[in-house]
Structure 1
Amino acid sequence: MSGARTPVGPTGPTERGATRQTVTIHFAGFNRAWAAWIGDRLERRGQRVVYLRFESPVDVPLADLLQDLKLAEGRILIVVSEWYFQLGPRTHEEWNEALREVVGPDPSRFAAVSVTTATVPSAAAVLGPVSLTNMGAEEAERRLLDRLDLPSEPLRETVAAARRGPRFPASMPDVWGAVPRRNTRFTGREDLFNDAYHLLSNAESGAGVVTFHGMSGVGKTQLAAEYAHRFGSEYDVVWWVNAEKRVTYRRQLAELAPKLGLKTGQEYGERLRTVRDSLRRGEPYSRWLLILDGADEPDQIWDLVPTGPGHVIITSRNPEWNEHNSRLLEVKVYSRDESVAFIRRRAPRLTEAEADRLAHALEDLPLLLDQTAGWLNDSAMSVEEYIGLLDSGVDSDVVKVSADFPMAFQTAWSILLNKLRETVPESVDLLRLCTFFAPGFIPVRLLREMPGDELPEQLARLLNDPLLWNKAINQLRTYSVVRLESHEVSEESVTSGESLYLHRMVHQIVRKDMPERDRREFMDVVRAALAAADPRRATDPDLWPGYAELTPHLKHADVLQSKDPQVQRLVFNCLRYMYFSGEYRAGIKLGERALAAWCTLLGESHARIWELTYHYTNLLRADGDYVRSEALGRSAVDRLREERGPQDLEHLRAAAGLAADLRGLARYDEALEMSQWVLAAYRELLGDQDSRTLNAQNNLAVSLRLLGWYKEALDVDKETMEARRQLLRARHPWTLSSEHSYATDLRMLGHYAEAESIQRKNVHEVVRAMGPDNPSTLRAEYNLAMCRYRMGDRDRSRDRGDGLQEPGSLLASVLERGERVLGETHPWTLMFATAQSCYAREHGDIDQARQLSEAVVARYEVMLAEGHPFIAGARANQALILRNVGEREYSHVLTEQALAEMARAVGETHPWTLGCALNTSALRNLVGDVEGAAQLSGDTVTRAGEWLGRTHPLTLSARVAHAADLRGLRDRLQAEKVEQEALSDLDATLGSTHTHTVSARSRNRPYWDFEPQTI
């Protein structure tokens, strides 16, 4: 026996009304929650409590264990339950004999409370147990105190409120979600429970994360489930999440929002953000337990693990969680004593010696022990015969599937499958069907929703006959082959087998052990089920959860080897979903595999290949891989033009994609020419109002904007936006994108207030339609922050009253989410980082500004070809930071270099070049080259006026700068004239209180920030 708390002081009197006595609570680990609650009730009344968890090693006589218990201090209070009497395991006869021998002569030392309604040994009556079941906490406490002869008057309110104790174990947490049913055969693992409990309870806020890690089949999930049941009464919220895939994890965690009473929209991304924020703040609940099951890829979800005052338990095969703020607890195979105890509980007919031999043969692996002992108990086969089968091998082709699997596993499974075939052969068919879904939660309801006339004869009866279906499922449950718990469906659906949980080990071995004819037939059925479940509209955010459920199963159904047009259409729609929802990397992996498979399956010139190339290059481009995308796109354009002619719609779509690749590579003139040609062709073939024409029109505006033709881009974007509003619904992703582009054009032209108004509305709609962490949402919020930044709205404390953040915090939020959702090197993330660096520079955080700026420059230099304008622009921004920290000479050299590179890249009159010139003239002035500064600023004024107009903010900044350079040349009259005219135009254009106007009146030299653009 071991105590969780050291006894203190001498044994006190036990008479009713005694002021102080020691009570030793003796309990099975399974009943820890009851022991904690009882101890808390007693300590509140001034009693000294000692906790002793009962251990029952089989090599020690039970009577000796009870005699040792009498050495404990004070009154011994036993928490009676079936678990207490099953430890060892011990028979009722053993217990009756020991209780009569040890407790019978001295019953006054013992007391008991019963927390079970199950049958217990008859001699337990000597303990005088009082039942605490089927009643409320108040009555249970009264009975407990009465049994110990303690006063039961209510405590004073101040005493009762002094601390918050454990929840009454018979009451559930306020929120309890998707936790698997308690395994009544759970055995052992007490040291792991103790270690996990103490690590979590002693952790500081935000650090309460423990990972159970170990090989497949070792019982990590069962351990986590038992922890939830055993300690759940100490929490207000217990929530279970399947964490095998990022998309599934995000959706299931988001489902916690309504349970917490959080007010959010229906989109799961918005719910996810709200849930994480609620858990972090501990409002409305600070005592929460989140269990992330099957998180084998930390890189996929570590950034989404909530922090805060609650606790997180992770189950994983991957020990790399120790690099992500988690303490590791290794879950090994059972100890031999645990194996024997478990087998005897699972198969009571086996003796201890037989259980020991079986455990040795099965290498103490819990999953295998559970499945084997389950059917062996119902079989006439002896343990010796079974072990003989294991040794000889039922299947001569037994091959070790994985390093995770013991060799005995394959053979044991062959035996089990034979047993299933003999009893309910349809259960084997169902099990094999499941292996063509991904392991874990399997939506078998998709099979039952298929039309019956499309099913093979072998499966039609199983899937159409509810009685046979339930019989097959119950057979699999009996032998622990599947579980019925699922977060995705209601409890009613679970009990009817609408969703099953299949362990990855079982999944792999069953899939291997299958006749080839069945493999082909069953795979076709699952493919058809997945295709039939296709929501069909990948651009509709409301349908994204459906695609998120389907995509994990594509690989296991081997859909890429199917020639069925409906299955291939599902692949296209999943790729489109991944593109619109921002799951770029997963989409690229699928696209890459599909292209390789279909080129072999269909031939390189098949029509499906061109459509696949289109979706694949979209994903590559969205992830910033312009080189690969351009190579694939150009090859497709050339082949299609040659085979079908320039007016072919497939060729035009490929050409439009190629123009986008050219924009990514900064070949803006070529992109413009191609965009114009594609638009003209679409108009001729389809008319002005076709969605494909509008897409081409949108792309033309992007090319114009990148070339600095902001007014022309504005006109095109406005026309596209109005047409999309008519043709598509207002919240269609393309409509929202047009609104964003229109607001961006307005901002580039200096119409900041109008741009901010449109973008504010756009953000509201994008968040509702796409969710808070969709890349389109991040881009929309970024543009809103930039609108407010350019408006001069830089006061961190200003309350806007519209629920949106001021620009600094909004930029920081967008950057943080961009790094998490898109990755640190994604083009949009670098765009966000550039803006945050500029903002930090202007608000005094020069260290953050420099760190971000240096990272952006370094990443652009690696990712982009030398001479790319983004590299020149990033260096121009870096020069401003160097100027601010006093490195004038280096800053001057860098800004001159940036100006020359930018001019070569986009021409001397491009707004980006004019901005670089504005900064360079300032550095020339600062290092004493006054004449060179005046010459450059004067030229910049002329070019900016011609390109952007006299009152564009960049032109106005150049005019203010030129006035400063004229003063440096001591041409005061001309300087005064230029300055006054510029100030007058600033007042009229931006307003007298705008930051730029106020700064110009104070004769602070203006500057220009380079801002990367989307392509």
Structure 2
Amino acid sequence: MPLIYSEGREQPQRRLREEVQKSVKGTHYNNFSITFSLSGVPETPHFVARDGEVAEIRRMLCSDGSRRIVVLHGLGGIGKTQLAATYINRYRDEYSAIFWLNIKDEASIQQSFARIAAQILEQNADVGSLKGLNLQQEHDEIVQAVKAWLSLPGNTRWLIVYDNYDNPKLPGRKTDAAVDIHQFLPRAHQGSIVITTRLSQIDIGHHIRIEKLKSEHESLQILSKASGRNGLQDDGDAKDLVRELDGLPLALATAGAYLKRVPVSIRDYTRYYQESWARLSGNLHLGSYADRTLSSTWQLSYEHVQAQNPLAAHLLRWWAYFNNEDMWFGLFCARSGMGPVWMKQLSEELNFNDAMGVLHDYGLVEPTTIFQRIQGYSIHGCLHSWAIHILNKEWDGRLSKLAVESVASQVPSNVGADYWLLQKRLIPHAIRSCSAVQDGDVPSNWAFHSLGNLYSDQGKLGEAEKMFLRALHGYEKALGPDHTSTLNTVNNLGALYSNQWKLGEAEKMYLRALHGREKALGPDHTSTLHTVNNLGILYRDQGKLGEAEKMYLRALHGREKALGADHTSTLNTVNNLGVLYSNQGKLGEAEKMFFRALHGYEKALGPDHTSTLNTVNNLGALYSNQWKLNEAEKMYLRALHGYEKALGPDHTSILKIVDNLGILYRDQGKLGEAEKMHLRALHGQEEVLGPDHTSTLNTVNNLGVLYSNQGKLDEAEKMYLRALCGYERAMGIDKITTYRPAINTLMNLGSLRSKQGLLGQARQYYQRASDGLERLLGPTHPDVQSARHTLELTYRTVEDGMSSSDDQHLPDPTQPRSSKKRSRDILKRVLGLHVE
């Protein structure tokens, strides 16, 4: 705009600056503006007042674009979520984009970020980091891409609500489902954030405590809106009721929903409420006045639901045996044919939908939507607790049994497409339904076996063992020790123990399963060959490579004959033979096996199936062993990204790939990236598997190698000794030389002692490692010859009195080597995903 000189020099300059700022601001809005969508944002039809809290949120979030965070905390049902939604509706025009995330658990977070990605792409199709992503599967990539978009320069006027942050990771507060919100915050210090939580310990942002409504006028407004009844401000009966409900918004809204549905006077409702409270408080220990208020309110609504639609009442009662979120028709009706009459009636979808509609009308249930489509239904956490402890005070063993069996019957086979998506959805219901089982009616043995498979596939090995043992004891008692169902569980326990590196227990299970199946089914039955294949894996892990090869070849020939050359079970054995040949140094034969398995899996299961990715990872290790580092990196990254999509970032299988990437980056000289990978793997394994699990110790050893390469010899020594002591505790001092990674640690300690000039100790470590390698691989194996050569040099050094300044002439096993002499241990640690 032209300058107006009559205003003087300073005033025109100020106006010019303002116009430039407006122009820049408008450009930023145009670049990053996302039309406001109600998707994911709760409705607030009965929300009133809270003007002081809204004003405080407004004051704290006003900024120049730098990061501002407000935490709304208070008890369940107090109105935190509604307050955040109200703030959004009131001030949405001041933000370029507004997003709502449910951060209750990992699955909810992933769904929320997928919804945000869809909103961004709908109006900004050229966002490079989001283009081409599968919004149903590529969860980790979606999170990172959305965070990157929110962190772009100039994109400062967005607002995000992180709702239901009720299970945070806090010091001294450990739970498997805990969430670390920092992983989901954008990197750049910009934008506005609102967090809702029941906890006051969240150490972030400005805290606002949300308390009960103190104004009788505000409580009457909620009651009036929810009930559709006017003129309550001067109604003495209404005032009596809101005093009873004591300013709890959820109780007021539920009471209002009841009064809207039922033509009863407010005085009568208050009387019903007081009578209900008296009945409840007479024999129950309710923790607080708020608990009693909500409980009585829900009791009245439940009784009326029961009178109007008995199926809806039965549905709500059975819900106590499942998780409170994401109930869907297919899960509910899975075992309805085995239940009472009302359950069979609810297995008709129209009846189910009608029942859910009634519960929704009374304010008890909310639909959960993904991409504008109803996926399931959820109930408030407080209401779920009431259903568990009060509505089901007389626990129904039959309902508990049917809940477990409903979840178990939905567990998909791990050879199906996208099986992991349904598995993730089932895990919360499996945890809740199993925790609800009490003495009395025990679920069927097949259900525990199926849930064992579910937990095992999801890397929850402790829970899987409990399920398999319950199934085994039940089968032995009901069917006998040699029944095929019993032997199936025995075989799966063997696989579980093998994954836990309890090799002695695994061998006992496998041999029992093999002998039983040979007797019951014959030596060439596919179930028998299944155990034969697993024994091959076990013998390989024990270093009995000759026995392993015999098992694999027997399984391969039998499966080719019974199932065909391209059946996935046949391909599993082909893949395992590839691993074995790699361990034996037969790299050409190994590559042939891996390529055959890979092409077969891609054709049968697709490029992103976990079995396919297992072989991709094995090929990466093979290329790394051949010193084809670029090809190895491509394979590892393909496997890593695929597994993160399928299983999540902290699954034990993924952590092993991450550790292998650390080895690769070390060999490429990228020591900073290598340390990041090893530390990520170590922290994840310590949390998931424990500090003394062999997979954890393998990563500890690899960190030692990295520190040695960086010249940090003290840190390297700590890592090596921790790994060695851990192996000895896990396997026994005499058994560690049967495990290749433990042998590597002995060699690494020998090299470290050589660098420190402690040649006598170096010789002792090299001697133990060399003897173990010879027993493991045979005297002609290149690695054995290399170890013997190193040992001979140490002996010669000691005899010749070589000074410590000449130690560099000794071979260093921790340094990168040629493909012929490079350690074969990588494949030993590769994934550990031994199929079947």
> If the TM-score is normalised by the length of the shorter chain, which range does it land in?
0.7 to 0.9
Judged with a 3 Å threshold, the aligned counterparts in structure 2 of structure 1 residues 531 and 269 are, in CA distance, closer, same or farther, namely same
Report whether the alignment pairs 1:185 with 2:46. yes
Q: Residue type of the partner of 1:488?
A: I
Partner of 1:388: 274
C-alpha contact 2:80 2:210 (8 A) present in aligned 1: yes
Q: Deviations over 1:153-179 (max 9, x none)?
A: 9996314246679989xx994464743
Partner of 1:722: 596
Report whether the alignment pairs 1:551 with 2:424. no
Q: Number of residues paired by the alignment?
A: 759
Partner of 2:673: 809
Partner of 2:117: 257
Where 1:953 maps in the other structure, the secondary structure is coil
Partner of 1:907: 774
* 2:20 pairs with one of 150, 154, 158: 158
Q: Residue type of the partner of 1:953?
A: S
Q: Residue type of the partner of 2:327?
A: I
Report whether the alignment pairs 1:301 with 2:179. yes
**Aligned counterparts of 1:441 and 1:770: Cα–Cα separation in 2:** 23
**Aligned counterparts of 2:467 and 2:168: Cα–Cα separation in 1:** 20
* 1:481 pairs with one of 361, 364, 367: 364
Offset, 1:855: 6.2
Offset, 1:183: 1.0
Partner of 1:1013: 828
**Aligned counterparts of 1:326 and 1:320: Cα–Cα separation in 2:** 11
**Aligned counterparts of 1:160 and 1:847: Cα–Cα separation in 2:** 58
C-alpha contact 1:481 1:502 (8 A) present in aligned 2: yes
Where 1:179 maps in the other structure, the secondary structure is coil
Judged with a 3 Å threshold, the aligned counterparts in structure 2 of structure 1 residues 1012 and 720 are, in CA distance, closer, same or farther, namely closer
Query: What are the residue-to-residue correspondences of 1:878-917 with 2, within 5 Å?
Result: 888-889=756-757, 892=759, 895-907=762-774
C-alpha contact 2:101 2:161 (8 A) present in aligned 1: yes
Larger displacement relative to structure 2 (452-461 or 341-350):
452-461
* 1:953 pairs with one of 793, 818, 826: 818
Report whether the alignment pairs 1:673 with 2:547. yes
Q: Residue type of the partner of 1:683?
A: H
Judged with a 3 Å threshold, the aligned counterparts in structure 2 of structure 1 residues 760 and 393 are, in CA distance, closer, same or farther, namely same
Offset, 1:905: 3.4
**Aligned counterparts of 2:528 and 2:611: Cα–Cα separation in 1:** 22
**Aligned counterparts of 1:844 and 1:782: Cα–Cα separation in 2:** 20
List alignment gaps of at least 5 residues for structure 1.
Answer: 1-18, 20-43, 47-152, 797-806, 945-950, 958-1007
Offset, 1:557: 5.0
Where 2:378 maps in the other structure, the secondary structure is strand
Offset, 1:668: 1.5
Query: Percent same amino acid among aligned pairs?
Result: 14
Q: Residue type of the partner of 1:428?
A: A
**Aligned counterparts of 1:314 and 1:463: Cα–Cα separation in 2:** 39
Offset, 1:610: 3.8
Where 2:99 maps in the other structure, the secondary structure is strand
Query: What are the residue-to-residue correspondences of 1:437-586 with 2, within 5 Å?
Result: 437-444=322-329, 458=342, 464=348, 466=350, 472-484=355-367, 486-488=368-370, 490=372, 493-494=373-374, 499-511=376-388, 536-540=412-416, 542-556=418-432, 571=451, 574-575=454-455, 579=457, 583-585=458-460
C-alpha contact 1:730 1:736 (8 A) present in aligned 2: no
**Aligned counterparts of 2:470 and 2:770: Cα–Cα separation in 1:** 42
C-alpha contact 2:360 2:366 (8 A) present in aligned 1: yes
**Aligned counterparts of 1:932 and 1:488: Cα–Cα separation in 2:** 70
Where 1:301 maps in the other structure, the secondary structure is coil
Where 1:554 maps in the other structure, the secondary structure is helix
Query: What are the residue-to-residue correspondences of 1:698-777 with 2, within 5 Å?
Result: 698-703=575-580, 705-706=582-583, 709-711=584-586, 714-716=588-590, 718-719=592-593, 721-723=595-597, 725-726=599-600, 728-729=604-605, 731=607, 732-748=609-625, 751-753=626-628, 756-757=630-631, 760-761=634-635, 763-764=637-638, 767-768=641-642, 771=645, 773=649
Offset, 1:419: 1.9
C-alpha contact 1:220 1:315 (8 A) present in aligned 2: yes
Q: Deviations over 1:275-302 (max 9, x none)?
A: 3254156345443414142542535331
* 1:399 pairs with one of 284, 299, 312: 284
* 2:253 pairs with one of 354, 370, 385: 370
Query: What are the residue-to-residue correspondences of 1:6-45 with 2, within 5 Å?
Result: none
Offset, 1:808: 5.2
* 2:745 pairs with one of 870, 874, 880: 874
Offset, 1:393: 1.0
Q: Residue type of the partner of 1:548?
A: K
Report whether the alignment pairs 1:242 with 2:102. yes
Q: Residue type of the partner of 1:574?
A: L
Judged with a 3 Å threshold, the aligned counterparts in structure 2 of structure 1 residues 710 and 331 are, in CA distance, closer, same or farther, namely farther
**Aligned counterparts of 2:498 and 2:186: Cα–Cα separation in 1:** 34
Judged with a 3 Å threshold, the aligned counterparts in structure 2 of structure 1 residues 633 and 879 are, in CA distance, closer, same or farther, namely closer
Q: Residue type of the partner of 1:902?
A: A
Partner of 2:127: none
**Aligned counterparts of 2:72 and 2:393: Cα–Cα separation in 1:** 38
Judged with a 3 Å threshold, the aligned counterparts in structure 2 of structure 1 residues 224 and 1011 are, in CA distance, closer, same or farther, namely same
Higher Cα Rg, which structure: 1
C-alpha contact 1:213 1:329 (8 A) present in aligned 2: yes
**Aligned counterparts of 1:177 and 1:829: Cα–Cα separation in 2:** 45
Q: Deviations over 1:582-609 (max 9, x none)?
A: x312x54255235326634773735444
Query: What are the residue-to-residue correspondences of 1:409-424 with 2, within 5 Å?
Result: 409-424=294-309
Where 1:499 maps in the other structure, the secondary structure is strand
**Aligned counterparts of 1:844 and 1:357: Cα–Cα separation in 2:** 77
**Aligned counterparts of 2:90 and 2:750: Cα–Cα separation in 1:** 60
**Aligned counterparts of 1:335 and 1:226: Cα–Cα separation in 2:** 19
Judged with a 3 Å threshold, the aligned counterparts in structure 2 of structure 1 residues 474 and 719 are, in CA distance, closer, same or farther, namely closer
**Aligned counterparts of 1:675 and 1:584: Cα–Cα separation in 2:** 28
C-alpha contact 1:280 1:307 (8 A) present in aligned 2: yes
Q: Deviations over 1:902-954 (max 9, x none)?
A: 2343338566666666777788899995569999999999xx9xxxxxx9838
**Aligned counterparts of 1:225 and 1:844: Cα–Cα separation in 2:** 55
C-alpha contact 1:675 1:696 (8 A) present in aligned 2: no
Judged with a 3 Å threshold, the aligned counterparts in structure 2 of structure 1 residues 210 and 412 are, in CA distance, closer, same or farther, namely same
Judged with a 3 Å threshold, the aligned counterparts in structure 2 of structure 1 residues 1011 and 454 are, in CA distance, closer, same or farther, namely closer
C-alpha contact 2:46 2:253 (8 A) present in aligned 1: no
